[in-house]
Structure 1
Protein backbone atom coordinates (compact mmCIF):
# COMPACT_ATOMS: atom_id res chain seq x y z
CA UNK A 1 0.00 0.00 0.00
CA UNK A 2 2.77 2.45 0.90
CA UNK A 3 4.38 2.00 -2.51
CA UNK A 4 1.08 2.64 -4.30
CA UNK A 5 0.53 5.81 -2.27
CA UNK A 6 4.05 6.94 -3.14
CA UNK A 7 3.26 6.55 -6.85
CA UNK A 8 0.28 8.90 -6.53
CA UNK A 9 2.23 11.50 -4.54
CA UNK A 10 4.98 11.71 -7.17
CA UNK A 11 7.31 13.35 -4.65
CA UNK A 12 9.95 12.18 -2.17
CA UNK A 13 8.71 10.86 1.17
CA UNK A 14 10.71 12.18 4.11
CA UNK A 15 9.07 10.28 6.95
CA UNK A 16 6.63 7.42 7.46
CA UNK A 17 4.98 7.32 10.89
CA UNK A 18 3.49 4.00 11.96
CA UNK A 19 0.94 3.82 14.78
CA UNK A 20 0.93 0.33 16.27
CA UNK A 21 -1.11 -1.39 18.94
CA UNK A 22 -0.09 -3.74 21.74
CA UNK A 23 3.59 -4.82 21.49
CA UNK A 24 2.41 -8.36 22.23
CA UNK A 25 0.93 -8.37 18.72
CA UNK A 26 3.19 -5.82 17.05
CA UNK A 27 6.61 -6.61 18.47
CA UNK A 28 10.21 -5.98 17.49
CA UNK A 29 9.99 -8.07 14.31
CA UNK A 30 7.11 -5.93 13.04
CA UNK A 31 8.92 -2.73 13.98
CA UNK A 32 12.07 -3.80 12.13
CA UNK A 33 10.12 -4.76 9.00
CA UNK A 34 8.37 -1.37 8.98
CA UNK A 35 11.66 0.45 9.42
CA UNK A 36 13.06 -1.50 6.48
CA UNK A 37 10.02 -0.60 4.37
CA UNK A 38 10.52 3.10 5.09
CA UNK A 39 14.24 2.93 4.40
CA UNK A 40 13.62 1.28 1.03
CA UNK A 41 11.56 4.34 0.08
CA UNK A 42 14.28 6.69 1.29
CA UNK A 43 12.25 7.77 4.32
CA UNK A 44 12.74 7.96 8.06
CA UNK A 45 10.54 5.59 10.10
CA UNK A 46 8.84 6.82 13.26
CA UNK A 47 7.09 4.30 15.50
CA UNK A 48 4.23 5.26 17.82
CA UNK A 49 1.91 3.21 20.02
CA UNK A 50 -1.83 3.46 20.62
CA UNK A 51 -2.21 1.73 23.97
CA UNK A 52 -6.02 1.85 23.99
CA UNK A 53 -8.36 1.44 20.97
CA UNK A 54 -9.94 4.89 21.22
CA UNK A 55 -10.64 5.49 17.54
CA UNK A 56 -9.04 6.83 14.39
CA UNK A 57 -8.75 10.40 15.63
CA UNK A 58 -6.99 9.24 18.78
CA UNK A 59 -4.65 6.97 16.79
CA UNK A 60 -3.61 9.87 14.57
CA UNK A 61 -2.88 12.05 17.59
CA UNK A 62 -0.61 9.34 18.99
CA UNK A 63 1.74 10.41 16.18
CA UNK A 64 1.42 14.10 17.14
CA UNK A 65 5.17 14.89 16.83
CA UNK A 66 5.04 13.89 13.15
CA UNK A 67 1.90 15.84 12.24
CA UNK A 68 3.18 18.78 10.22
CA UNK A 69 3.37 19.70 6.55
CA UNK A 70 1.88 17.66 3.70
CA UNK A 71 0.91 14.15 4.75
CA UNK A 72 -1.09 11.08 3.85
CA UNK A 73 -3.03 9.21 6.52
CA UNK A 74 -3.91 5.61 5.64
CA UNK A 75 -5.48 2.69 7.48
CA UNK A 76 -3.37 -0.45 7.46
CA UNK A 77 -6.15 -2.86 6.45
CA UNK A 78 -6.72 -1.16 3.09
CA UNK A 79 -4.86 -2.03 -0.11
CA UNK A 80 -5.31 0.01 -3.27
CA UNK A 81 -4.28 0.47 -6.86
CA UNK A 82 -4.57 4.05 -8.04
CA UNK A 83 -3.33 6.46 -10.66
CA UNK A 84 -4.51 10.04 -10.29
CA UNK A 85 -3.01 13.48 -9.72
CA UNK A 86 -3.57 15.30 -6.45
CA UNK A 87 -5.57 18.50 -6.98
CA UNK A 88 -3.19 21.35 -6.06
CA UNK A 89 -6.17 23.59 -5.21
CA UNK A 90 -7.42 21.22 -2.52
CA UNK A 91 -6.57 21.51 1.16
CA UNK A 92 -7.29 17.80 1.44
CA UNK A 93 -8.05 14.85 -0.81
CA UNK A 94 -10.17 11.97 0.46
CA UNK A 95 -9.60 8.81 -1.55
CA UNK A 96 -12.80 7.09 -2.65
CA UNK A 97 -14.04 4.14 -4.67
CA UNK A 98 -17.28 3.90 -6.61
CA UNK A 99 -19.41 1.14 -5.07
CA UNK A 100 -22.67 -0.56 -5.98
CA UNK A 101 -24.08 -0.54 -2.43
CA UNK A 102 -23.21 2.85 -0.89
CA UNK A 103 -25.65 2.28 1.97
CA UNK A 104 -23.07 -0.11 3.45
CA UNK A 105 -20.29 2.49 3.58
CA UNK A 106 -19.38 5.97 4.64
CA UNK A 107 -19.72 8.15 1.54
CA UNK A 108 -18.94 11.70 0.46
CA UNK A 109 -21.48 14.31 -0.62
CA UNK A 110 -20.28 16.62 -3.41
CA UNK A 111 -21.36 20.09 -4.50
CA UNK A 112 -21.55 21.35 -8.10
CA UNK A 113 -17.80 22.08 -8.03
CA UNK A 114 -17.10 18.44 -7.14
CA UNK A 115 -15.94 19.49 -3.70
CA UNK A 116 -16.72 17.35 -0.67
CA UNK A 117 -19.17 19.17 1.56
CA UNK A 118 -20.29 16.36 3.85
CA UNK A 119 -19.35 12.90 5.09
CA UNK A 120 -22.34 10.60 5.52
CA UNK A 121 -22.07 7.25 7.31
CA UNK A 122 -24.15 4.43 5.78
CA UNK A 123 -26.84 6.66 4.23
CA UNK A 124 -30.39 5.31 4.23
CA UNK A 125 -31.21 7.35 1.11
CA UNK A 126 -28.86 7.92 -1.83
CA UNK A 127 -26.17 10.57 -1.29
CA UNK A 128 -23.45 9.35 -3.66
CA UNK A 129 -21.77 6.12 -4.70
CA UNK A 130 -18.28 7.30 -3.71
CA UNK A 131 -17.24 5.36 -0.61
CA UNK A 132 -14.50 6.59 1.72
CA UNK A 133 -11.75 3.95 1.74
CA UNK A 134 -9.61 5.22 4.61
CA UNK A 135 -6.81 7.14 2.87
CA UNK A 136 -6.53 10.92 3.19
CA UNK A 137 -4.12 13.57 1.89
CA UNK A 138 -3.67 16.86 3.76
CA UNK A 139 -1.75 19.79 2.33
CA UNK A 140 -0.88 20.69 5.93
CA UNK A 141 -1.78 17.96 8.39
CA UNK A 142 -1.14 20.36 11.28
CA UNK A 143 -4.58 21.83 10.55
CA UNK A 144 -6.18 18.44 11.14
CA UNK A 145 -4.04 18.01 14.26
CA UNK A 146 -5.43 21.23 15.68
CA UNK A 147 -9.01 20.16 15.06
CA UNK A 148 -8.45 16.70 16.53
CA UNK A 149 -6.88 18.27 19.60
CA UNK A 150 -10.11 20.24 20.03
CA UNK A 151 -12.08 16.99 19.75
CA UNK A 152 -9.94 15.39 22.45
CA UNK A 153 -10.08 18.45 24.72
CA UNK A 154 -13.87 18.63 24.40
CA UNK A 155 -14.17 14.85 24.80
CA UNK A 156 -16.32 14.49 21.67
CA UNK A 157 -16.75 10.77 21.02
CA UNK A 158 -18.84 8.69 18.63
CA UNK A 159 -19.38 5.07 19.54
CA UNK A 160 -16.98 5.50 22.44
CA UNK A 161 -14.17 6.63 20.13
CA UNK A 162 -12.55 9.81 18.85
CA UNK A 163 -13.06 9.91 15.08
CA UNK A 164 -11.08 11.52 12.26
CA UNK A 165 -14.38 12.57 10.66
CA UNK A 166 -15.11 14.99 13.48
CA UNK A 167 -11.82 16.76 12.82
CA UNK A 168 -12.49 16.80 9.08
CA UNK A 169 -15.97 18.26 9.59
CA UNK A 170 -14.47 21.13 11.58
CA UNK A 171 -12.01 21.79 8.78
CA UNK A 172 -14.91 21.89 6.31
CA UNK A 173 -16.76 24.32 8.57
CA UNK A 174 -13.71 26.60 8.36
CA UNK A 175 -13.94 26.59 4.57
CA UNK A 176 -11.15 24.15 3.78
CA UNK A 177 -11.50 22.62 0.30
CA UNK A 178 -11.83 18.82 0.14
CA UNK A 179 -11.70 16.92 -3.15
CA UNK A 180 -11.91 13.23 -4.06
CA UNK A 181 -9.23 10.99 -5.48
CA UNK A 182 -10.82 7.92 -7.05
CA UNK A 183 -8.89 4.65 -6.85
CA UNK A 184 -9.03 1.90 -9.46
CA UNK A 185 -8.94 -1.00 -7.02
CA UNK A 186 -9.85 -1.16 -3.34
CA UNK A 187 -9.09 -4.38 -1.51
CA UNK A 188 -9.96 -5.20 2.07
CA UNK A 189 -8.33 -7.44 4.68
CA UNK A 190 -11.25 -7.58 7.10
CA UNK A 191 -11.57 -11.37 7.39
CA UNK A 192 -9.75 -14.55 6.37
CA UNK A 193 -11.66 -15.18 3.15
CA UNK A 194 -11.35 -11.65 1.81
CA UNK A 195 -7.69 -11.50 2.88
CA UNK A 196 -6.91 -14.58 0.76
CA UNK A 197 -8.72 -13.02 -2.21
CA UNK A 198 -6.89 -9.72 -1.70
CA UNK A 199 -3.56 -11.53 -1.48
CA UNK A 200 -4.22 -13.27 -4.80
CA UNK A 201 -5.20 -10.02 -6.51
CA UNK A 202 -2.17 -8.13 -5.21
CA UNK A 203 0.18 -10.89 -6.32
CA UNK A 204 -1.51 -10.78 -9.72
CA UNK A 205 -0.91 -7.03 -9.96
CA UNK A 206 2.74 -7.44 -8.96
CA UNK A 207 3.24 -10.18 -11.53
CA UNK A 208 1.65 -8.06 -14.26
CA UNK A 209 3.77 -5.04 -13.29
CA UNK A 210 6.91 -7.13 -13.59
CA UNK A 211 8.67 -4.97 -11.00
CA UNK A 212 9.37 -7.80 -8.55
CA UNK A 213 10.62 -11.36 -8.91
CA UNK A 214 7.84 -13.23 -7.13
CA UNK A 215 9.27 -16.72 -7.48
CA UNK A 216 12.99 -16.75 -6.75
CA UNK A 217 15.17 -18.22 -9.48
CA UNK A 218 16.88 -20.33 -6.80
CA UNK A 219 13.65 -22.23 -6.07
CA UNK A 220 14.03 -26.00 -6.54
CA UNK A 221 11.07 -28.21 -7.40
CA UNK A 222 10.97 -31.93 -6.67
CA UNK A 223 7.73 -33.47 -7.88
CA UNK A 224 6.02 -30.16 -7.14
CA UNK A 225 3.90 -27.54 -8.86
CA UNK A 226 3.58 -23.78 -8.49
CA UNK A 227 0.23 -22.13 -9.22
CA UNK A 228 1.01 -18.50 -9.96
CA UNK A 229 0.73 -15.82 -8.86
CA UNK A 230 2.44 -16.59 -5.57
CA UNK A 231 5.56 -15.55 -3.69
CA UNK A 232 8.44 -17.92 -2.98
CA UNK A 233 11.66 -16.66 -1.42
CA UNK A 234 15.28 -17.51 -2.08
CA UNK A 235 16.67 -21.05 -1.74
CA UNK A 236 13.31 -22.74 -1.17
CA UNK A 237 13.06 -26.46 -1.94
CA UNK A 238 9.58 -27.85 -2.62
CA UNK A 239 9.08 -31.59 -2.36
CA UNK A 240 5.83 -33.34 -3.29
CA UNK A 241 3.93 -30.09 -2.94
CA UNK A 242 1.57 -27.74 -4.73
CA UNK A 243 1.97 -24.09 -3.80
CA UNK A 244 -0.49 -21.36 -4.74
CA UNK A 245 -4.18 -20.62 -4.64
CA UNK A 246 -6.39 -23.29 -6.17
CA UNK A 247 -10.12 -22.70 -6.45
CA UNK A 248 -12.23 -25.73 -7.26
Structure 2
Protein backbone atom coordinates (compact mmCIF):
# COMPACT_ATOMS: atom_id res chain seq x y z
CA UNK A 1 0.00 0.00 0.00
CA UNK A 2 1.10 3.54 -0.75
CA UNK A 3 0.12 6.71 1.06
CA UNK A 4 -1.04 9.53 -1.21
CA UNK A 5 -0.96 13.04 0.25
CA UNK A 6 -2.43 15.96 -1.72
CA UNK A 7 -0.24 18.97 -0.90
CA UNK A 8 -0.85 21.13 -3.96
CA UNK A 9 -3.56 23.48 -2.73
CA UNK A 10 -3.25 27.23 -2.25
CA UNK A 11 -5.18 27.41 1.00
CA UNK A 12 -7.10 30.65 0.50
CA UNK A 13 -8.94 30.25 3.82
CA UNK A 14 -5.57 30.61 5.56
CA UNK A 15 -4.55 33.88 3.87
CA UNK A 16 -2.31 35.71 4.67
CA UNK A 17 -0.34 32.73 6.03
CA UNK A 18 -0.44 31.00 2.64
CA UNK A 19 0.62 33.97 0.53
CA UNK A 20 4.23 32.81 0.83
CA UNK A 21 3.96 29.06 1.45
CA UNK A 22 1.56 26.25 0.50
CA UNK A 23 -1.11 25.27 3.02
CA UNK A 24 0.51 21.98 4.16
CA UNK A 25 3.66 23.94 5.09
CA UNK A 26 1.87 26.17 7.62
CA UNK A 27 3.37 25.33 11.01
CA UNK A 28 1.44 24.00 13.98
CA UNK A 29 2.88 22.64 17.25
CA UNK A 30 6.48 22.88 16.16
CA UNK A 31 6.38 21.65 12.55
CA UNK A 32 4.42 22.00 9.30
CA UNK A 33 1.01 20.33 9.04
CA UNK A 34 2.56 18.02 6.46
CA UNK A 35 5.23 16.97 8.95
CA UNK A 36 2.62 15.75 11.43
CA UNK A 37 0.92 13.75 8.67
CA UNK A 38 4.20 12.18 7.56
CA UNK A 39 5.11 11.34 11.15
CA UNK A 40 1.92 9.29 11.23
CA UNK A 41 2.96 7.46 8.05
CA UNK A 42 6.42 6.73 9.47
CA UNK A 43 4.79 5.11 12.51
CA UNK A 44 2.45 3.01 10.33
CA UNK A 45 3.02 -0.11 8.19
CA UNK A 46 3.23 2.09 5.06
CA UNK A 47 6.71 3.02 3.83
CA UNK A 48 5.96 4.45 0.36
CA UNK A 49 4.47 7.92 -0.10
CA UNK A 50 3.35 9.95 -3.11
CA UNK A 51 3.08 13.67 -2.32
CA UNK A 52 1.19 15.77 -4.86
CA UNK A 53 2.77 19.20 -5.23
CA UNK A 54 1.66 22.30 -7.08
CA UNK A 55 1.61 25.85 -5.71
CA UNK A 56 5.10 26.77 -4.41
CA UNK A 57 6.16 23.16 -4.85
CA UNK A 58 9.78 23.76 -3.81
CA UNK A 59 8.74 24.40 -0.20
CA UNK A 60 7.20 20.92 0.00
CA UNK A 61 9.86 19.05 -1.97
CA UNK A 62 12.75 20.51 -0.01
CA UNK A 63 11.13 19.89 3.38
CA UNK A 64 9.97 16.34 2.71
CA UNK A 65 13.26 15.33 1.08
CA UNK A 66 15.34 16.73 3.94
CA UNK A 67 13.21 15.39 6.78
CA UNK A 68 11.69 12.11 5.57
CA UNK A 69 13.67 10.57 2.72
CA UNK A 70 15.64 8.41 5.18
CA UNK A 71 12.45 6.88 6.61
CA UNK A 72 10.14 6.77 3.61
CA UNK A 73 10.34 6.04 -0.10
CA UNK A 74 8.99 9.37 -1.37
CA UNK A 75 7.83 10.33 -4.86
CA UNK A 76 6.39 13.66 -5.99
CA UNK A 77 3.54 13.97 -8.47
CA UNK A 78 2.68 17.39 -9.87
CA UNK A 79 -0.70 19.05 -10.28
CA UNK A 80 0.02 21.87 -12.71
CA UNK A 81 -3.43 23.44 -12.41
CA UNK A 82 -5.59 23.45 -9.30
CA UNK A 83 -8.80 21.79 -10.47
CA UNK A 84 -10.05 19.92 -7.44
CA UNK A 85 -9.17 16.98 -5.23
CA UNK A 86 -10.22 14.40 -7.80
CA UNK A 87 -7.94 16.01 -10.39
CA UNK A 88 -5.16 16.06 -7.78
CA UNK A 89 -5.45 12.35 -6.99
CA UNK A 90 -5.57 11.51 -10.69
CA UNK A 91 -2.04 12.89 -11.08
CA UNK A 92 -0.70 9.98 -8.99
CA UNK A 93 -1.88 7.21 -11.33
CA UNK A 94 1.59 6.55 -12.78
CA UNK A 95 3.08 6.29 -9.28
CA UNK A 96 0.38 4.13 -7.69
CA UNK A 97 -0.71 1.97 -10.62
CA UNK A 98 -2.92 -0.87 -9.37
CA UNK A 99 -1.49 -0.94 -5.84
CA UNK A 100 -3.80 -0.15 -2.96
CA UNK A 101 -3.50 3.35 -1.49
CA UNK A 102 -4.37 5.37 1.57
CA UNK A 103 -5.30 8.97 0.77
CA UNK A 104 -4.52 11.44 3.56
CA UNK A 105 -5.59 15.02 2.93
CA UNK A 106 -2.76 17.50 3.40
CA UNK A 107 -4.69 19.82 5.72
CA UNK A 108 -6.25 17.25 8.08
CA UNK A 109 -4.80 16.03 11.37
CA UNK A 110 -6.09 13.16 13.48
CA UNK A 111 -5.60 12.10 17.08
CA UNK A 112 -5.99 8.42 16.13
CA UNK A 113 -2.87 6.90 14.59
CA UNK A 114 -2.87 5.77 10.98
CA UNK A 115 -2.27 2.13 11.91
CA UNK A 116 -5.60 2.05 13.76
CA UNK A 117 -7.41 3.35 10.66
CA UNK A 118 -5.78 0.64 8.53
CA UNK A 119 -6.80 -2.03 11.07
CA UNK A 120 -10.38 -0.72 10.97
CA UNK A 121 -10.32 -0.95 7.18
CA UNK A 122 -9.03 -4.54 7.27
CA UNK A 123 -11.81 -5.48 9.70
CA UNK A 124 -14.41 -4.56 7.05
CA UNK A 125 -13.52 -7.63 5.03
CA UNK A 126 -13.88 -7.84 1.26
CA UNK A 127 -14.42 -4.23 0.14
CA UNK A 128 -13.03 -2.12 -2.68
CA UNK A 129 -12.31 0.68 -0.24
CA UNK A 130 -13.33 2.49 2.92
CA UNK A 131 -13.73 6.05 4.13
CA UNK A 132 -13.24 7.60 7.54
CA UNK A 133 -16.40 9.36 8.70
CA UNK A 134 -17.77 11.38 11.60
CA UNK A 135 -21.18 12.88 12.37
CA UNK A 136 -21.09 16.69 12.19
CA UNK A 137 -23.37 19.61 13.00
CA UNK A 138 -23.05 21.40 9.64
CA UNK A 139 -22.98 18.65 6.99
CA UNK A 140 -23.40 21.05 4.04
CA UNK A 141 -19.73 22.03 4.54
CA UNK A 142 -18.44 18.50 3.88
CA UNK A 143 -18.58 15.52 1.62
CA UNK A 144 -21.47 13.42 2.92
CA UNK A 145 -22.04 9.64 3.08
CA UNK A 146 -25.34 7.75 3.12
CA UNK A 147 -25.39 4.14 4.26
CA UNK A 148 -27.20 0.93 3.39
CA UNK A 149 -26.50 -1.29 6.36
CA UNK A 150 -22.72 -1.40 6.81
CA UNK A 151 -21.93 -0.36 3.24
CA UNK A 152 -21.90 3.07 1.61
CA UNK A 153 -24.94 3.70 -0.58
CA UNK A 154 -24.08 7.18 -1.84
CA UNK A 155 -21.67 10.09 -1.69
CA UNK A 156 -22.20 13.77 -2.36
CA UNK A 157 -19.86 16.76 -1.99
CA UNK A 158 -21.05 19.76 0.05
CA UNK A 159 -24.77 19.31 -0.64
CA UNK A 160 -27.17 22.21 -0.09
CA UNK A 161 -29.69 19.73 1.35
CA UNK A 162 -27.56 17.05 3.06
CA UNK A 163 -29.06 13.54 3.03
CA UNK A 164 -27.25 12.71 6.29
CA UNK A 165 -24.83 14.23 8.79
CA UNK A 166 -22.15 11.60 8.24
CA UNK A 167 -19.16 13.57 6.97
CA UNK A 168 -16.08 12.39 5.10
CA UNK A 169 -13.18 13.19 7.39
CA UNK A 170 -10.17 13.23 5.08
CA UNK A 171 -8.79 9.68 5.16
CA UNK A 172 -9.61 7.07 2.49
CA UNK A 173 -8.36 3.54 1.88
CA UNK A 174 -8.75 2.33 -1.71
CA UNK A 175 -8.04 -1.26 -2.71
CA UNK A 176 -9.22 -0.86 -6.31
CA UNK A 177 -6.92 2.02 -7.22
CA UNK A 178 -7.16 1.27 -10.93
CA UNK A 179 -10.95 1.55 -10.70
CA UNK A 180 -10.67 4.94 -8.99
CA UNK A 181 -8.24 6.26 -11.61
CA UNK A 182 -10.61 5.07 -14.37
CA UNK A 183 -13.51 6.85 -12.69
CA UNK A 184 -11.57 10.09 -12.18
CA UNK A 185 -10.24 9.92 -15.73
CA UNK A 186 -13.80 9.67 -17.06
CA UNK A 187 -14.81 12.78 -15.10
CA UNK A 188 -11.87 14.75 -16.46
CA UNK A 189 -12.14 13.53 -20.05
CA UNK A 190 -15.86 14.35 -20.15
CA UNK A 191 -15.43 17.59 -18.16
CA UNK A 192 -17.84 16.50 -15.45
CA UNK A 193 -17.24 19.02 -12.68
CA UNK A 194 -18.82 18.98 -9.28
CA UNK A 195 -18.94 21.29 -6.27
CA UNK A 196 -16.86 24.44 -6.72
CA UNK A 197 -16.66 23.76 -10.48
CA UNK A 198 -13.90 21.24 -9.77
CA UNK A 199 -13.24 17.55 -10.37
CA UNK A 200 -14.19 16.03 -7.03
CA UNK A 201 -12.81 12.83 -5.50
CA UNK A 202 -16.28 12.26 -4.02
CA UNK A 203 -17.77 12.14 -7.53
CA UNK A 204 -15.14 9.65 -8.65
CA UNK A 205 -15.93 7.38 -5.71
CA UNK A 206 -19.66 7.67 -6.46
CA UNK A 207 -18.94 6.63 -10.04
CA UNK A 208 -17.23 3.52 -8.64
CA UNK A 209 -20.30 2.78 -6.50
CA UNK A 210 -22.53 3.15 -9.56
CA UNK A 211 -20.36 0.54 -11.31
CA UNK A 212 -20.85 -1.94 -8.47
CA UNK A 213 -17.91 -1.22 -6.13
CA UNK A 214 -18.40 -1.79 -2.41
CA UNK A 215 -17.19 0.69 0.20
CA UNK A 216 -17.40 0.61 3.98
CA UNK A 217 -16.69 3.19 6.65
CA UNK A 218 -14.71 3.48 9.86
CA UNK A 219 -15.14 6.02 12.62
CA UNK A 220 -12.87 9.03 13.00
CA UNK A 221 -13.45 10.46 16.45
CA UNK A 222 -11.19 13.51 16.52
CA UNK A 223 -10.04 15.33 13.40
CA UNK A 224 -8.94 18.87 12.70
CA UNK A 225 -9.37 20.73 9.44
CA UNK A 226 -6.25 22.90 9.53
CA UNK A 227 -7.41 24.92 6.54
CA UNK A 228 -8.95 27.61 8.78
CA UNK A 229 -7.25 29.80 11.42
CA UNK A 230 -9.56 28.79 14.26
CA UNK A 231 -9.19 25.05 13.65
CA UNK A 232 -5.44 25.43 13.11
CA UNK A 233 -5.17 26.93 16.59
CA UNK A 234 -7.38 24.15 17.95
CA UNK A 235 -5.04 21.54 16.44
CA UNK A 236 -2.10 23.42 17.94
CA UNK A 237 -3.66 23.13 21.39
CA UNK A 238 -4.38 19.40 21.04
CA UNK A 239 -0.95 18.51 19.66
CA UNK A 240 0.90 20.52 22.29
CA UNK A 241 -1.20 18.92 25.03
CA UNK A 242 -0.25 15.51 23.69
CA UNK A 243 3.43 16.17 23.06
CA UNK A 244 4.16 18.36 26.07
CA UNK A 245 6.62 21.24 26.13
CA UNK A 246 9.93 21.49 24.30
CA UNK A 247 12.46 24.27 24.72
CA UNK A 248 15.22 24.82 22.21
CA UNK A 249 15.49 28.53 22.91
CA UNK A 250 16.32 30.79 25.82
CA UNK A 251 13.78 32.12 28.29
CA UNK A 252 15.50 35.01 30.10
CA UNK A 253 13.62 36.41 33.13
CA UNK A 254 10.41 34.98 31.66
CA UNK A 255 7.66 32.56 32.60
CA UNK A 256 6.66 29.69 30.31
CA UNK A 257 3.25 28.16 31.08
CA UNK A 258 3.11 24.68 29.50
CA UNK A 259 2.45 23.30 27.05
CA UNK A 260 4.75 25.47 24.94
CA UNK A 261 6.96 24.54 21.99
CA UNK A 262 10.01 26.81 21.64
CA UNK A 263 12.14 26.39 18.52
CA UNK A 264 15.92 26.41 18.24
CA UNK A 265 17.52 29.80 18.76
CA UNK A 266 14.33 31.50 19.89
CA UNK A 267 14.71 34.13 22.62
CA UNK A 268 12.08 35.07 25.19
CA UNK A 269 12.79 38.03 27.48
CA UNK A 270 10.70 39.59 30.27
CA UNK A 271 7.59 37.85 28.98
CA UNK A 272 4.88 35.38 29.94
CA UNK A 273 4.31 32.78 27.25
CA UNK A 274 1.70 30.02 27.28
CA UNK A 275 -0.24 27.95 27.52
CA UNK A 276 -0.63 26.55 24.00
CA UNK A 277 2.01 28.57 22.19
CA UNK A 278 4.20 27.30 19.35
CA UNK A 279 7.28 29.46 18.67
CA UNK A 280 9.36 28.73 15.59
CA UNK A 281 13.15 28.83 15.28
CA UNK A 282 14.84 32.18 15.75
CA UNK A 283 11.77 34.06 16.94
CA UNK A 284 12.17 36.76 19.60
CA UNK A 285 9.56 37.78 22.18
CA UNK A 286 10.19 40.74 24.49
CA UNK A 287 8.09 42.39 27.22
CA UNK A 288 4.98 40.55 26.06
CA UNK A 289 2.17 38.20 27.07
CA UNK A 290 1.39 35.51 24.49
CA UNK A 291 -1.03 32.59 24.78
CA UNK A 292 -2.91 30.25 22.45
CA UNK A 293 -0.86 31.39 19.43
CA UNK A 294 1.56 30.31 16.71
CA UNK A 295 4.62 32.50 16.12
CA UNK A 296 6.56 32.04 12.88
CA UNK A 297 10.26 31.59 12.20
CA UNK A 298 12.39 34.68 12.89
CA UNK A 299 9.47 36.85 13.95
CA UNK A 300 9.76 39.57 16.60
CA UNK A 301 7.12 40.51 19.16
CA UNK A 302 7.59 43.45 21.51
CA UNK A 303 5.21 45.03 24.03
CA UNK A 304 2.21 42.99 22.90
CA UNK A 305 -0.60 41.07 24.53
CA UNK A 306 -1.62 38.32 22.11
CA UNK A 307 -4.16 35.50 22.28
CA UNK A 308 -5.62 33.36 19.51
CA UNK A 309 -3.09 34.76 17.05
CA UNK A 310 -1.15 33.56 13.99
CA UNK A 311 2.08 35.44 13.26
CA UNK A 312 3.82 34.51 10.00
CA UNK A 313 7.56 34.06 9.52
CA UNK A 314 9.86 37.07 9.53
CA UNK A 315 7.21 39.43 10.90
CA UNK A 316 7.50 42.22 13.45
CA UNK A 317 4.63 43.16 15.76
CA UNK A 318 4.90 45.90 18.36
CA UNK A 319 2.27 47.70 20.40
CA UNK A 320 -0.76 46.39 22.27
CA UNK A 321 -2.93 44.21 20.01
CA UNK A 322 -4.89 41.27 21.45
CA UNK A 323 -5.78 39.15 18.41
CA UNK A 324 -4.15 39.14 14.96
CA UNK A 325 -3.54 37.07 11.83
CA UNK A 326 -0.24 38.38 10.47
CA UNK A 327 1.28 37.03 7.25
CA UNK A 328 4.96 36.43 6.54
CA UNK A 329 7.42 39.33 6.36
CA UNK A 330 4.93 41.83 7.78
CA UNK A 331 5.57 44.77 10.09
CA UNK A 332 2.86 46.09 12.40
CA UNK A 333 3.16 48.90 14.96
CA UNK A 334 0.13 49.71 17.09
Question: Which one of the candidate residues 45, 57, 62 is aligned to 1:11?
Answer: 45
Distance 1:2 1:96, change over 3 A: farther
In structure 2, the residue corresponding to 1:231 is in which secondary structure? Answer: strand
Distance 1:148 1:37, change over 3 A: farther
Q: Does 1:161 align with 2:194?
A: no
Which residue matches 1:181?
218
Which residue matches 2:166?
130
Verify the 8 A CA contact 2:157 2:202 in the aligned structure 1: no
Verify the 8 A CA contact 1:226 1:243 in the aligned structure 2: yes
Which residue matches 1:54?
83
In structure 2, the residue corresponding to 1:119 is in which secondary structure? Answer: strand
Which residue matches 2:153?
117
Verify the 8 A CA contact 1:67 1:145 in the aligned structure 2: no
In structure 1, the residue corresponding to 2:197 is in which secondary structure? Answer: coil
Aligned CA-pair RMSD: 2.4
Verify the 8 A CA contact 1:70 1:141 in the aligned structure 2: yes
Question: Which one of the candidate residues 38, 55, 63 is aligned to 1:33?
Answer: 63
Verify the 8 A CA contact 1:16 1:38 in the aligned structure 2: no
Question: Which one of the candidate residues 221, 246, 256 is aligned to 1:226?
Answer: 256
Q: Considering fraction of residues, name the structure with more strand.
A: 2
Inter-partner Cα distance in structure 1 for 2:42 and 2:164: 28
TM-score under structure 2 length normalisation: 0.63
Aligned residues: 233
In structure 2, the residue corresponding to 1:109 is in which secondary structure? Answer: strand
Inter-partner Cα distance in structure 2 for 1:189 and 1:118: 26
Inter-partner Cα distance in structure 2 for 1:98 and 1:133: 9
Higher relative contact order (CA 8 A, sep 6+): 1
Deviations 1:83-109 (A, max 9, x none): 442134221111111213334432110
Q: Does 1:89 align with 2:122?
A: no
TM-score under structure 1 length normalisation: 0.82
Inter-partner Cα distance in structure 2 for 1:46 and 1:154: 28
Distance 1:56 1:142, change over 3 A: same
Deviation at 1:147, TM superposition (A): 1.5
> Unpaired runs of 5+ in structure 2?
1-36, 278-290, 293-306, 308-334
Deviation at 1:5, TM superposition (A): 5.5
